[in-house]
Structure formats: C-alpha cells, structure tokens
Amino acid sequence: MAGRKYSRQREAIRGYLREHRDHPTAEEVYLRLYEEDPHLSLGTVYRNLSLLENMGEIRRIRAGTGPDRFDADLSPHQHFICRSCGKVLDMEVPAAALMLREAAGSFPGRLEECAVTFSGLCGDCAAR
Amino acid sequence: MAGRKYSRQREAIRGYLREHRDHPTAEEVYLRLYEEDPHLSLGTVYRNLSLLENMGEIRRIRAGTGPDRFDADLSPHQHFICRSCGKVLDMEVPAAALMLREAAGSFPGRLEECAVTFSGLCGDCAAR
DNA sequence: TTAATTTTAGTAATCGTTACTAATATCAGG
DNA sequence: CCTGATATTAGTAACGATTACTAAAATTAA
C-alpha cells in the first residue's frame, strides 16, 4: 500500500476521529491523545491528519476563521459553524449536489470539489 | 457615521478594489499601492480591508489554502479557485440561493451566511 | 486654534501549521 | 531471528498570514 508502514500514533488518531464526530481540531486531538501517550508530538498529529485526508479516510473542514477541523464522516453533508460559540454542526442539504452539477455543466475546466459552509447563530446561541 | 474619520490610505484601498476585480490578496493590494505611497504600511492595508468588510463594502474570500482574497463585487455570486495556478474566477450558480433557502427552512437557529467555494483545475490548467 | 479622537507607520507578537533532523520503529528478505 | 532499507517519530525551529502595540501624525468638531 504505497510504502506505508503501521504506526501506533496514526492508528490512535484514526480511531479517535472515528469515535468522536464533533469535528475536533488538530490540537484537540493532540490534547486528548497526549493523556494516554505523553510522548506524542503535535507535529505527528498534524502530519497524520493530512495523511489521512490524502488517503481519503477523513475530511478537512476549513472553518471561516480559526483552525481546521476534521471529520471521519465521509457521507455527503455540509457544515454549519456558529459565529458565537464556534460549534460545528452537520447539515443535510440535498440541493448542494444539484448545485455542483449545475456549476460543473457550464464550467470550462475540471470542477473537482465544492466546499459549502454555513454560518450564523446556532439554536442555543440564537435563543438569547 | 460611527466616529469614523477620512483616511487617504483607506480611500486608496477602496478605490483599488473597485477598479481591480481579480480578487487580490492583502499583500497584492499593499504592493501595488506602495508604489504610489512608499510610506504605506502593510498593517494599514490589513486593518482597512477588515474595516471595509465590516462596513459591508467588500467581501472576504477565504481561499482553501493561502491568504484571504478580497472582492468589491457585492452581487450574489460564488468563486472557483484553481488548485494549480491559484487563479480565482467568478461563478454564477443560481442553485446556491435555493440551497440557502432549503437549509434555512429546517435550521433551528439563525442562518446568516453561506460560503460556497469551488475548486479544481481552471480551463487553462485543465488543457494540459 | 485647539483639543478630542481617529488613523497611521513601524515593529513586535501571535496563531496555526509545516519543515527539519537525529533517533526509533516497522517490516521484508535471508 | 537478524539485518538492512525505509517509514515514522519527537522535539524543535521556521514559516506565512494576520493581529496587536505604540508613539506620532492626521482629521474634525467646537
């Protein structure tokens, strides 16, 4: 598999993301796994998150501001980021697929990706 | 108008963005205006771009990777970023408005913005 | 003209992330 | 089980984009 070797650290990162679907940042993953492995390095977390992304095992969510977040849920969905509390919520917006098709039709190149990110106030924050 | 004073620098930045619709970065704006005003500071450009954004006069485009870009075109449209040459193109995707309405309908908070960014290869880069 | 307030230039600091390097871990072949 | 080639790591330094700081200069209302 392309000269890739097993790594305990990568396995832990992969496992953490599969169990925690709250879109953690690299640092959040690091802090949590550091508790069980005090020799873990932040750079290792960043490197493996990028690796897992390239392998197609996880998705990177580029929050408007602040650090990137990561998601092991590969099903087609979008994200909402609350501008007040920073929470990231999953969104199901079927029209997104339609939009990609509509855009790809008239585009004179290769349209590969489409990042959709909603923002505003989440239910909790809007209640105030 | 909210205790804001005139500034020659801000006027130059506003003017540059209105005349150049190629989605320049803060540094590109700085380098170009620096030629006419060798005392201009990069921090001043960043500060005024954020100010103009908050005043609703320009839009900030968060490119996937790399620095933010700015756009004085406030009409509803989306952007495409070429992953090969970095060029930013305007896109007209009517379904985007539909998507926002669809999402807002079932959302239990206040859905304010919807950032859509396409990526892939532009026409020129795809030709190779 | 004056005085309050905003803005600036210049620089330092911050944040998220990537790059570097020597040491360690994995793993295929003998 | 060794052994060597290669991948991976920890730790730290460096990086790019942006923001924060501060004293000086510009704007503006009275």
pLDDT of residue A86: 87
Last residue of a domain, one of A56, A72, A88: A72
Find the CATH number of the domain harbouring B89. Answer: 3.30.1490.190
Bases in strand C with any atom closer than 7 Å to a protein CB = 5-12, 15-20, 25-27
Split into its structural domains, chain A has a count of: 2
**Beta carbons of A95 and B93 less than 8 Å apart:** no
**Beta carbons of A120 and B110 less than 8 Å apart:** yes
Clarify whether residues A54 and A79 are in a common domain: no
Last residue of a domain, one of B52, B73, B94: B73
Clarify whether residues B79 and B18 are in a common domain: no
Tell me whether residue A74 is exposed, middle or buried, using C-beta atoms within 10 angstroms of its C-beta: 0 to 12, 13 to 18, 19 or more. Answer: exposed
pLDDT of residue A75: 94
pLDDT of residue B9: 98
Clarify whether residues B53 and B17 are in a common domain: yes
Whether B92 contacts B77, CB under 8 Å: yes
**Domain containing residue A127:** 75-128
- Nearest CB partner across the interface for B120, out of A64, A112, A122: A112
CA A5, C1' C30: Å apart? 21
| Collapsed DSSP state (helix, strand, coil) of residue B23 | coil
Measured between CA atoms, the residue of chain B closest to residue A96 is B99
Tell me whether residue B43 is exposed, middle or buried, using C-beta atoms within 10 angstroms of its C-beta: 0 to 12, 13 to 18, 19 or more. Answer: exposed
pLDDT of residue B106: 86
Clarify whether residues A82 and A53 are in a common domain: no
* Residue closest to sugar C1' of C27 by CA: A5
Task: Spell out, as residue ranges, where chain B has pLDDT lower than 50.
Answer: none
Clarify whether residues B85 and B40 are in a common domain: no
Last residue of a domain, one of B73, B94, B119: B73
pLDDT per residue, tens digit, chain A (128 aa), is: 578 999 999 999 999 999 999 999 999 999 999 999 999 999 999 999 999 999 999 999 998 788 999 999 999 999 999 988 889 999 998 888 889 888 998 899 999 888 899 999 999 999 98
Find the CATH number of the domain harbouring A66. Answer: 1.10.10.10
Tell me whether residue B5 is exposed, middle or buried, using C-beta atoms within 10 angstroms of its C-beta: 0 to 12, 13 to 18, 19 or more. Answer: exposed
**Beta carbons of B121 and A114 less than 8 Å apart:** no
pLDDT of residue B1: 53
Give chain A's contact residues with B (Cβ, < 8 Å). 62, 64, 78, 80, 82-83, 91, 93-96, 98-100, 102-103, 107-126
Clarify whether residues A4 and A67 are in a common domain: yes
Clarify whether residues A3 and A59 are in a common domain: yes
Clarify whether residues A64 and A9 are in a common domain: yes
Clarify whether residues B100 and B51 are in a common domain: no
pTM, entire model = 0.91
Clarify whether residues A23 and A11 are in a common domain: yes
Residues 6+ apart with CB under 8 A from A119: A64, A80, A81, A82, A83, B112, B113, B114, B115
Clarify whether residues A23 and A42 are in a common domain: yes
Clarify whether residues B59 and B97 are in a common domain: no
